């Protein structure tokens, strides 16, 4: 491991100092002069006709500046959807309008009806109490299958039904897949639920709109993972503000996990209202509000079938999934159950024939969109669960069955349209067996049994597609955006560097890891490099951070820009040393002429660039600043193998995680400390899904799990120390860093390991349990044990 | 509105508050001490933990008026006098005990309270003590490790670095 702060060093994070001393700058810490506050009056029914909103009693209340309703937004665009899916019949998805404030109907608990802007937060809240809302309740549709029945109430009256799309993938393979099932020696079938989750970054969303009447400039401070995307979506599609008159700032952001990718109504409202009132307008979500307004995650109901031949080779896979869209299409919602899910159904295995059917459904619930992993956890969970079930039905070792079917030659083109560039699934499984001490399991089992506990071991593999994605490819698949990333490298006269990236850090440590890369390339100390991100005013157009893409795509853009810098700097150095450009070498921050003892330092060259007295002005411009946009050639394909050991209390059904081990292949690693932390966090969330978390609606559409009192977040005593390893490294072949991305792996790979382990524990104790739906709460496990 | 006065990080502080103003609102809005965070509205998350007269308190569970005359310490008061990180803060940085940083002030304040009550806690005691502090980023691994290290324990045997 290098100790010089370059690539591969476990450099401590520089951003920690401000977070540890209380001087971070989160959006809610921003208070502008003359700021007013908005409180949203939200629907408390899931579905209803909005007859009237009477604000007359509230208008004159103390501090009230103005009350807005849907009518104020009649001339304003709705919130746009960024991905259009085409269904198996060649039809484009049904795409309903999504107004900023409700117009005509309310469609989920939490749908905003009115927005009260007042001098203080408390005055706004008080005035909301005085607004009279007349709603005729309509029957709500909550269950997806019920929503598709003939005569079901429609969430959107102007759509033909609650079906958003019926997607088949790969449609042309369907016949061959069905035939393979007809000829199979064994078929394993599993029906399961991947439950609805709430992302719950610890920082609730906040938006502060500002407007300058003197310049006609609008500014939005917001808790976003991708400020440029918000600027584009809100400016172009909602408010009609051109990008050069709109600045979006996402300062320190307290976690995102996907939920802060999307453009939300509150952002558009605060920007709109700031101009309407000529005052800054601030909104701070409460946690209760977050539960009913942040886009939720997962919520798939799936039937998966695996066909095997007489030698236990996988011959075909067939899935049928209902995916909940909620009441409106959130920004990237349609892509999650389709292109981020269906394309991953091959997993780590050479199954030759795969068919995936996904019906996306509107219901009277909060919109569902990407949450850490986004489609890939859903794919991994069903695949790894059905393989485990097949192993048990066939009486074969689940690890051996997986190994037998591993993809072993790369590149590998799957039958679901993607091509894995590199991987070594045998190596990660070998590593897992070592770090998880699988050979010691029997002894640990005996110890648990001696205590009167059941013990089980669960294994699974995962693969994910990260670094989204080639723009031309995703354009063909329905994306309404490009998915490149950008970087500007600005070298200052005295040699220090500012890198302006379109990526955004909200916990990932860009400010530490990105300088390690540039430091390594130039051979200077990482402390000479600073990262700017999160402000559209001083960073190039970027697509932001999600899908484990920052280093693979944003880092690649930074590498390309730094290469341009080095090329130009070499020309300057050649001039200073009166040598040919081709003879200049750069090492440890020194430019030298090959084969001579002539050299000039990095600082000499950067100074010459800005004080160009002795400079090749006829050949190159002064200054040293370069920008690059990087559009990836392919996805990256991190993969790994995970093991979980649980104890189950036979009297109560309580599951405890005794050991959790993860062997990941992320390709090259820039900062192993940060990578470990990303995996830890992902595993924590995956254990949360497996054992604790569940977003629950009742039949009338009331959100029962609406706060931390009812939604079980994993806490420190719910999880163990994890054993993580990323020494298996097959570098990505198509990005300059050879990196694959590590942000989502833990959340993708861990839920099936936990469930496989619990089923193993129960089966070892003689229970005929083949599946339990998550979360594996004590009551569910206990009931399963009762048969 | 009424006047409230207290000592915050060793300095006297006062302001006008409503009866319903929470201590955390007073700290953040009246005193601009924005290091103390608000992550929920049900006193579950612990992002707002501060010390009141030496005890860890969720600053959202107390009215500002109730802190009249109290000695309050927040994350802004945890560094050494020369501005360098205190022992617990340094351990969090050394062991990557934070990612997005939002829960971190509460975690540090809870850890400080724990170590003053129990200078050498076990892993299980630390996990139990942090029951009221939620972190969504770290899976708790490096938080626990950092607190053990801050207590002077050898954490080199804990998996992964």
- B15: CATH: 3.10.20.30
Whether the CB-CB separation of A35 and A281 falls below 8 Å is answered with yes
**Token pair for residue A757?**
């382990």
Q: How high is the pLDDT of residue B161? A: 39
Residue B54 located in a structural domain:
yes
**Token pair for residue A509?**
């440590």
Q: How high is the pLDDT of residue B77? A: 98
CB count within 10 Å of CB A779 equals 11
Q: Where are the alpha helices (DSSP H) in chain B?
A: 23-25, 87-94, 104-117, 123-129, 141-150
Tokens 């719950």, located at residue: A200
Tokens 């000592």, located at residue: B7
Tell whether B24 and B68 lie within a shared domain: yes
Interface test with A, best of B141, B142, B148, B158 (most A CBs within 10 A): B141
CA distance, residue A371 to nearest chain B CA (Å)? 13
* C-alpha pair distances (Å), A17 with each of A564, B72, B96, B136: 32, 22, 11, 20
Rounded-to-integer distance, Cα A343 and Cα A360, Å = 16
Tell whether B6 and B70 lie within a shared domain: yes
Domain count, chain B: 2
Instruction: Read off the DSSP letter of residue A555.
Output: I
Domain boundary among B76, B110, B140: B76
Q: Which residues contact B68 (CB under 8 A, 6 or more apart)?
A: B4, B5, B6
Tell whether B72 and B97 lie within a shared domain: no
Residue B36 touches partner A, C-beta closer than 8 Å = yes
Cis (ω within 30 of 0) for the bond into A411?
yes
Instruction: Read off the DSSP letter of residue B6.
Output: E
Rounded-to-integer distance, Cα A624 and Cα A608, Å = 10
Indicate the average pLDDT of chain B: 96
SS3 A185: coil
| Regions of chain A where pLDDT drops below 70 | 1-3
**Global pTM?**
0.97
Tell whether B9 and B71 lie within a shared domain: yes
Tell whether B146 and B91 lie within a shared domain: yes
Query: Is residue B50's pLDDT more than 70?
Result: yes
Whether the CB-CB separation of A728 and A619 falls below 8 Å is answered with no
Domain boundary among B76, B99, B125: B76
Tell whether B132 and B92 lie within a shared domain: yes
A680 and B41 within 8 Å at the Cβ level: the answer is: no
Strands, DSSP E only, in A273-313? 281-284, 296-308
Rounded-to-integer distance, Cα A184 and Cα A785, Å = 32
Rounded-to-integer distance, Cα A406 and Cα B112, Å = 49
Write out the H or E segment, with its range, that includes residue A276. Answer: helix A265-277
Q: How high is the pLDDT of residue A1? A: 35
Residue B160 located in a structural domain:
no
Tokens 């600082």, located at residue: A603
Q: What is the largest CA-CA distance in chain B?
A: 55
Tell whether B7 and B67 lie within a shared domain: yes
Instruction: Read off the DSSP letter of residue A675.
Output: H
Residue B40 touches partner A, C-beta closer than 8 Å = yes
Residue B38 located in a structural domain:
yes
Whether the CB-CB separation of B17 and B65 falls below 8 Å is answered with yes
Tell whether B10 and B69 lie within a shared domain: yes
Instruction: Read off the DSSP letter of residue A264.
Output: -
The confidence band for B133, taking pLDDT boundaries of 50, 70 and 90, is very high
CATH number at residue B120: 1.10.150.120
Tell whether B9 and B36 lie within a shared domain: yes
Query: Is residue B47's pLDDT more than 50?
Result: yes
Per-residue pLDDT tens over the stretch A297-321: 999 999 999 999 999 999 999 999 9
Residue B119 located in a structural domain:
yes
Closest CA to B35 of B63, B72, B62: B72
Per-residue pLDDT tens over the stretch A629-647: 999 999 999 999 999 999 9
**Percent of chain A with pLDDT strictly greater than 90:** 99
Tell whether B70 and B7 lie within a shared domain: yes
Residue B127 located in a structural domain:
yes
Q: How high is the pLDDT of residue A5? A: 87
* C-alpha pair distances (Å), A610 with each of A383, A600, A605, A607: 58, 16, 9, 5
Domain boundary among B47, B76, B105: B76
Q: Where are the alpha helices (DSSP H) in A21-173?
A: 56-59, 121-128, 144-147
Tell whether B72 and B6 lie within a shared domain: yes
A22 and B36 within 8 Å at the Cβ level: the answer is: yes
End-to-end CA gap in chain A: 53
Q: How high is the pLDDT of residue A787? A: 82
Q: How high is the pLDDT of residue A264? A: 98
Residue B157 located in a structural domain:
no
Query: Is residue B160's pLDDT more than 50?
Result: no
Interface test with B, best of A202, A254, A688 (most B CBs within 10 A): A202
The confidence band for B1, taking pLDDT boundaries of 50, 70 and 90, is confident
Residue A738 Rama label (left phi>0; alpha psi -120 to 50; beta): left
Considering CB atoms only, which of B41, B101, B126 is closest to A252? B101
Considering CB atoms only, which of A13, A29, A288 is closest to B93? A13
Residue A25's φ and ψ, nearest 5 degrees, are -125, 80
Domain of B108, in residue numbers: 87-150
Residue B27 located in a structural domain:
yes
Tell whether B57 and B91 lie within a shared domain: no
Closest CA to A44 of A157, A162, A164, A131: A131
Residue B17 located in a structural domain:
yes
């Amino acid at each position: 491991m290098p100790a010089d702060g370059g690539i591969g060093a476990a450099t401590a994070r520089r951003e920690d100092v401000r977070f540890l001393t209380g001087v971070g700058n989160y959006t809610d810490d921003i208070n502008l002069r003359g700021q007013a506050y908005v409180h949203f009056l939200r629907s408390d029914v899931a579905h209803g006709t909005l007859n009237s909103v009477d604000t007359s009693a509230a208008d004159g209340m103390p501090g009230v500046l103005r009350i807005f309703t849907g009518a104020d937004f009649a001339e304003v665009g709705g919130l746009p959807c960024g991905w259009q899916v085409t269904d198996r019949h060649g039809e484009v998805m049904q795409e309903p309008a999504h107004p900023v404030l409700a117009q005509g109907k309310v469609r989920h608990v939490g749908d905003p009806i009115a927005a009260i802007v007042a001098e203080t937060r408390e005055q706004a809240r008080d005035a909301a109490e005085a607004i009279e809302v007349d709603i005729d309740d309509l029957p709500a549709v909550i269950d997806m299958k019920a929503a598709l029945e003939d005569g079901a109430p429609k969430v959107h009256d102007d759509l033909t039904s609650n079906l958003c799309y019926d997607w088949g993938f790969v449609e042309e393979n369907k016949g061959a897949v069905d035939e393979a099932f007809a000829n199979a020696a064994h078929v394993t079938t599993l029906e399961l639920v991947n439950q609805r989750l709430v992302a719950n970054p610890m920082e609730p969303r906040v938006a502060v709109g500002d407007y300058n009447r003197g310049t006609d400039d609008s500014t939005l401070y917001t808790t976003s993972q991708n400020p440029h995307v918000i600027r584009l979506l809100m400016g172009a599609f909602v408010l009609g503000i051109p990008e050069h008159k709109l600045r979006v700032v996402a300062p320190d952001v307290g976690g995102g996990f996907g939920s802060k990718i999307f453009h939300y109504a509150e952002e558009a409202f605060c920007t709109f209202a700031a101009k309407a009132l000529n005052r800054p307008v601030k909104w701070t979500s409460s946690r209760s509000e977050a539960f009913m307004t942040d886009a939720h995650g997962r919520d798939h109901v799936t039937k998966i079938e695996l066909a095997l031949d007489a030698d236990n080779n996988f011959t075909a896979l067939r899935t049928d999934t209902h995916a909940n869209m909620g009441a409106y299409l959130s920004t990237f919602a349609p892509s999650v159950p389709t292109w981020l899910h269906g394309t991953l159904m091959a997993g780590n295995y050479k199954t030759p024939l795969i068919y995936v059917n996904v019906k996306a459904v509107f219901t009277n619930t909060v919109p569902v969109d990407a949450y850490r992993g986004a489609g890939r956890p859903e794919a991994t969970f069903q695949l790894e669960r059905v393989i485990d079930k097949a192993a048990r039905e066939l009486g074969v070792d689940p690890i051996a069955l997986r190994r037998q079917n591993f993809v072993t030659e790369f590149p590998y083109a799957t039958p679901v349209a993607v091509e894995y560039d590199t991987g070594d699934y045998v190596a990660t499984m070998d590593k897992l067996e070592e770090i998880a001490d699988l050979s010691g399991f029997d002894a640990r089992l005996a110890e648990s049994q001696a205590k009167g506990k059941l013990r089980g071991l669960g294994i699974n593999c995962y693969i994910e597609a990260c670094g989204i994605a080639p723009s031309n490819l995703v354009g063909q698949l329905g994306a309404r955006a490009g998915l490149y990333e950008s970087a500007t490298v600005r070298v200052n006269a005295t040699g220090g560097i500012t890198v302006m990236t379109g990526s955004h850090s909200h916990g990932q440590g860009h400010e530490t890891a990105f300088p390690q890369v540039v430091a390594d390339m130039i051979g200077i100390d990482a402390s000479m490099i600073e990262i700017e991100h999160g402000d559209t005013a001083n960073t190039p157009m970027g697509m932001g951070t999600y899908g484990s893409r920052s280093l693979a795509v944003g880092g690649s853009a930074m590498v390309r820009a730094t290469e341009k810098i080095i090329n130009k700097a070499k020309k300057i150095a050649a001039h200073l040393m009166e040598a040919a450009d081709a003879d200049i070498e750069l090492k440890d921050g020194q430019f030298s002429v090959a084969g001579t003892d002539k050299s000039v330092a990095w600082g000499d060259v950067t100074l010459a660039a800005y004080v160009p007295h002795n400079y090749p002005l006829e050949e190159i411009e002064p200054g040293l600043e370069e920008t690059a946009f990087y559009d990836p050639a392919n996805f990256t394909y991190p993969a790994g193998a995970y093991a979980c050991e649980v104890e189950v209390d036979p009297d109560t059904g309580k599951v405890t995680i005794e050991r959790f081990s993860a062997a990941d292949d992320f390709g090259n690693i820039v900062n192993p400390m940060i990578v470990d932390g990303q995996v830890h966090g992902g595993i924590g969330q995956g254990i949360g899904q497996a054992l604790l978390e569940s977003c629950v609606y009742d039949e009338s559409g009331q959100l029962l799990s609406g706060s931390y009192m009812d939604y079980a977040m994993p806490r420190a005593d719910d999880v163990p120390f994890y054993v993580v390893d990323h020494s298996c490294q097959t570098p990505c072949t198509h990005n300059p860093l050879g990196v694959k991305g590590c942000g989502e792996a833990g959340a993708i790979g861990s839920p099936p390991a936990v469930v496989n382990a619990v089923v193993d524990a129960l089966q070892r104790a003689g229970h005929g349990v083949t599946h339990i739906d998550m979360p594996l709460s004590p009551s569910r496990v206990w009931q399963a044990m009762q048969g | 509105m009424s006047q409230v006065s207290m000592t915050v990080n060793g300095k006297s502080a006062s302001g006008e508050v409503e009866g319903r103003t929470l201590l955390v609102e007073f700290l953040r809005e009246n005193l601009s001490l924005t290091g103390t965070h608000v992550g929920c509205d049900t006193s579950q998350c612990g992002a707002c933990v501060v010390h009141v007269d030496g005890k860890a308190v969720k600053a959202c569970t107390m009215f500002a008026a109730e802190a009249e005359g109290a000695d309050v310490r927040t994350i802004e008061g945890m560094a050494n006098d020369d501005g360098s990180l205190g022992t617990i803060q340094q351990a969090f940085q050394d062991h990557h005990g934070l990612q997005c940083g939002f829960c971190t002030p509460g975690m540090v304040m809870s850890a400080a309270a724990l170590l003053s009550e129990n200078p050498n806690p076990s892993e299980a005691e630390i996990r139990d003590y942090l029951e009221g502090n939620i972190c969504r980023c770290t899976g708790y691994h490096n938080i626990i490790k950092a607190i053990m290290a801050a207590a002077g324990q050898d954490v080199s045997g804990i998996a992964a670095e």
